């Protein structure tokens, strides 16, 4: 591990020198790549520098204690030694986490697709609640949300909604949200006061560039139609909505948020790229069953991941057995504790696997 850390430290120093060269600053593409690499290495370098500082303090304190006879000075040295020793295991653990392979999609924007599941109108109302939850979380993060398509029901629910979240690190924070979300509550449509259980499916897909997924336009069939719903003035009066059918896979995507047919086509192709990329990822996951089991769920839409129980005021994530008794805040977009816990659990599982491989 420490050989690798020394290599990365040297690489960081090389990048710093290169960034000061006029030839590099004149080449904007190379400059951006080096800045990105430097930014990625900075947390690890800072942690490793602090680790080396602690180790040096330990060595110096031990050496000075052997020679020091003054009682007050010896007490101060012992305190420094104790503080440095206590920091070393924590810094080693941080370094191990920072050395874990990075998900190449972590910094990407995401496309989110929410579909009402079992439960009729109540499932559609729950899907709308989840949409609002992710929009409010995005606002807390300073991210921008673009709705791409929504199929509403008359009482404020959504049969399906797809939207893009643009923001640095969006995928790294939201990738654990894919799966089946379950709600237990008395529906607004229920007059007898009985608790119902309904579900909605969430899919989180990284935005994919053209170079990552090549789409043959001969495989795509486009239909245009008049948008419906609350689209604003003009949206419902022109054939601006687009339905894209990908013939080889049968994937159908509708986009009607924009007034422009061209813009809706572009959005539909973005969603198609993300879905085709997701299909390829699923194939890889299925062929790497052991790796799949070692990770917190990050994509299986059939996996029941979370229950929102309103009568008990609790939210339970079944993958990490975490229950929070503050459902109102969670539904209002306060997801950080859940996401941080899922991230920590995933990192812990990967560290265990990494340690097993090095034994």
Q: Tens of pLDDT along 61-84? A: 998 988 878 888 888 889 989 999
Beta-carbon neighbour count of residue 211 at 10 Å?
A: 6
Note the pLDDT of residue 262.
86
Distance CA 256, CA 150 (A): 8
Beta-carbon neighbour count of residue 325 at 10 Å?
A: 10
**Looking at domain 110-348, which of 1.10.10.60, 3.30.1130.10, 3.30.70.60, 3.30.70.1660 is its CATH number?**
3.30.70.1660
Q: Tens of pLDDT along 160-182? A: 999 999 998 899 999 999 999 99
Global pTM reads 0.74
Q: Tens of pLDDT along 307-354? A: 999 999 999 999 999 999 999 999 999 999 999 999 999 988 888 877
Tokens 């180790």 — which residue? 55
Q: What does the domain layout of the chain look like in residue ranges? A: 2-99, 110-348
Half-sphere exposure of 347 (CA within 13 A, CB side): 16
User: E strands, the chain, where?
Assistant: 110-116, 144-152, 158-166, 179-185, 196-206, 220-225, 241-246, 251-255, 304-309, 314-317, 322-324
Average pLDDT, the chain: 85
pLDDT bracket for residue 358 (50, 70, 90): low
Q: Tens of pLDDT along 259-287? A: 788 888 888 888 888 888 888 877 766 65
Among 107, 203, 118, residue whose Cα is nearest residue 161 = 203
């Amino acid at each position: 591990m420490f050989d690798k850390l020394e290599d990365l430290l040297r690489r960081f120093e090389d990048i710093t020198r290169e960034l000061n060269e006029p030839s590099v600053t004149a080449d904007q593409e190379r400059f951006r790549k080096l800045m990105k690499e430097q930014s990625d290495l900075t947390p690890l370098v800072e942690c490793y520098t602090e680790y080396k500082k602690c180790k040096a303090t330990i060595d110096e304190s031990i050496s000075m204690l052997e020679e020091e006879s003054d009682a007050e000075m010896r007490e101060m040295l012992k305190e420094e030694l104790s503080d440095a020793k206590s920091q070393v295991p924590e810094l080693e653990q941080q370094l191990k986490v920072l050395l874990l392979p990075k998900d190449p999609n972590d910094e990407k924007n995401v496309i989110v697709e929410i579909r009402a599941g079992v439960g009729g109108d109540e499932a559609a109302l729950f899907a709308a609640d989840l949409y609002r939850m992710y929009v409010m979380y995005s606002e807390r993060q300073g991210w921008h949300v673009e709705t791409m398509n929504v199929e509403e029901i008359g009482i404020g629910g959504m049969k399906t909604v797809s939207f893009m979240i643009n923001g640095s690190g969006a995928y790294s924070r939201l990738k654990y949200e894919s799966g089946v979300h379950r709600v237990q509550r008395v529906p607004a449509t229920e007059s007898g006061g009985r608790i119902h259980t309904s579900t909605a499916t969430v899919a989180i897909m990284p935005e994919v560039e053209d170079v990552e997924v090549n789409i043959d336009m001969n495989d795509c069939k486009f239909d245009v139609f008049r948008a419906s719903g609350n689209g604003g003035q003009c949206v419902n009066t022109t054939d601006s909505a687009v339905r894209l059918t990908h013939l080889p896979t049968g994937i159908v995507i509708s986009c009607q948020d924009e007034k422009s047919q061209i813009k809706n086509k572009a959005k539909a192709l973005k969603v198609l790229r993300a879905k085709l990329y997701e299909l390829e990822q699923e194939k890889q996951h299925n062929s790497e069953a052991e790796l799949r089991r070692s990770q917190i769920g990050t994509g299986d839409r059939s996996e029941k991941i979370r229950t929102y129980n309103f009568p008990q005021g609790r939210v339970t994530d079944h993958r990490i057995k975490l229950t929070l008794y503050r459902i109102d805040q969670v539904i209002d977009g306060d997801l950080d504790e859940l996401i941080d816990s899922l991230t920590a659990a995933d990192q812990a599982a990967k560290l265990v696997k990494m340690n097993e491989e090095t034994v």
